[in-house]
Amino acid sequence: MEAEILIVAAFDHESDQAVQVAWKVAEKLRKDYGIWVMVRIDQVWIHDPIKINELKIPQVYVNGKLFFAGRAPREGDLINAVMTMLWRNELEKMTAPAATLVNQPVFMDAVPVTSME
């Protein structure tokens, strides 16, 4: 399994901490569970602390979904976010259709459904 953590960071302590936590989580998930986590960093060139606060930087995305904004996550919280997104992706792959279209009189009015939500 694979996951991606994207950090939108500025030049401040909170962003540095978010990057360090992401690296620790990536290492831990690879060693403990065999999950490969790619950590990407998009650096924003803002030096004004008020602007950084307004934009809620750092922002931490897991597989494209925003989980943390304006603060660095704790290790346990980021691990939970990664595992939640992986579990959700695996669950979507495993869902069975609710009905099937078969050329038998009993199922003539059935409509195929691709996923249950």
pLDDT of residue 110: 45
Task: Give the pLDDT band (50/70/90) at residue 7.
Answer: very high
- Looking at residue 107, the DSSP 8-state letter turns out to be G
Residue 36, φ and ψ in degrees, nearest 5: -85, 125
pLDDT of residue 111: 47
Tens digit of each residue's pLDDT (9 = 90 or more) over 12-22:
899 999 999 99
pTM, full prediction: 0.72
Q: Which of 19, 17, 18, 37 is nearest to 27 (CA)?
A: 37
Residue 17 backbone class (left: φ over 0; alpha: ψ -120 to 50; beta: rest)? alpha
Q: Which of 58, 63, 105, 59 is nearest to 84 (CA)?
A: 63
Distance CA 28, CA 30 (A): 5
